[in-house]
A = this chain, B = another copy of it.
Amino acid sequence: MPTSEQDFLAAIDRHFPNQAEGVLLGRGDDCAILDAIGPLCVSTDLFVEGAHFRRSYFTPADIGHKALAAAASDLAAMGAAPVACALSLVLPDSVDDAFLDELLAGMAALSTRLGLPLAGGDLSRGPALILDLAVFGRPSPAGVLLRRGTLRPGDELVLIGEAGLARAGLLALEASGRAACEAFPAATAAHLRPEPRLDNGQLLAGLPGVRALMDVSDGLARDIPRLLGLGTAKAKGGSKNLGADLRIDEALPHPEALTYFRSQGLDPLEAFVLGGEDYALLAGVQPSGLALVLAAFPAARHIGTVSATPGLRVNGAAFSHAGFDHFAKE
């Protein structure tokens, strides 16, 4: 591991440029200064060894990539355009310079590709490898930020991306380590290297009829109520008299997810509804806008409809399981 903060800052400077559009003052002062000329989206996302990843099957570059990808997905979920990010990094003694270099390289590659320059952060030693990414975004040229809690009965639910695939990858990696990458390349990649859908989010933010958007990080069963504005941290405007009817068939799960869950004696449709960490986008669309959304995204799937009846139903049957919760004791 680097023996001083200065060594670490030098490593940061090797991997991340310190000048970027939208960043008036980059790293090296008390604060960074962002050029915010209107509303600014802000989110932070923890990526904690043992809770979110294991070094046994995440490469250092995977860790750097996924920590930023998961945070950036929250910008996609608002339909926001990327501005910048900041990294707070807790390093244990067991991380050496080569490991850190690969981690930063993995993060820097995604940072460049997404247009999320690293504007600042902090560093500390600690008992585990922990990354906390703050991400900043602004309205896309279309000008809309898509919130939760704005849907009405009859609005349609559209999924862009997979559901349950990353969960299959996680379980396969937990069982077999990196060897799982050969048997389940798409599922393990979905867990190790998720792609935040920033472009999709911005495009959705410009389509008429798209009323609400979120990223599915904890599984549809847990996240749909959040999209509807239910729960403790209720978005303004949400109503308690909302539910959803999902229509799920075996054409929806990714083939690797079908194969994996069946091989484990598990129901692939239940896994589709419960599986987390796919970072798919879930949009709520008024009925008249559905055709346009499906046309704009060939990979989008119409998975259900918002209902005035509380609760979640899958193919007509009540669905009561809780999705994946990073925090609850399993």
Report which A residues bind B (CB closer than 8 A). Answer: 3-6, 8-10, 13, 24-25, 27-46, 48-52, 74-75, 77-78, 80, 84, 86, 88, 90, 119-128, 130, 132, 134-137, 145, 147-149, 213-215, 231-235, 325-329
Contacts and interface: CB of A to CB of B under 8 A. Distances in A.
Q: How many copies does the complex hold?
A: 2
Contacts of A41: 31-34
A36 B30 contact: no
A116 to B, nearest CB: 13
A80 to B, nearest CB: 7
A31 B4 contact: no
Contact of A123 (B38, B46, B50): B46
Contacts of A233: 9, 13, 27-28
A132 B40 CA distance: 20
B130 A31 contact: no
A126 B33 contact: no
Contact of A6 (B29, B232, B329): B232
B134 A30 contact: no
Contact of A120 (B43, B149, B325): B43
A32 B33 CA distance: 18
A35 B139 CA distance: 12
A48 B126 contact: yes
A238 B31 CA distance: 17
Nearest to A39: B33
B74 A31 contact: yes
A127 B128 contact: yes
Nearest to A79: B30
A122 B128 contact: no
Nearest to A47: B124
B42 A90 contact: no
Contacts of A29: 78, 147-149, 214, 235
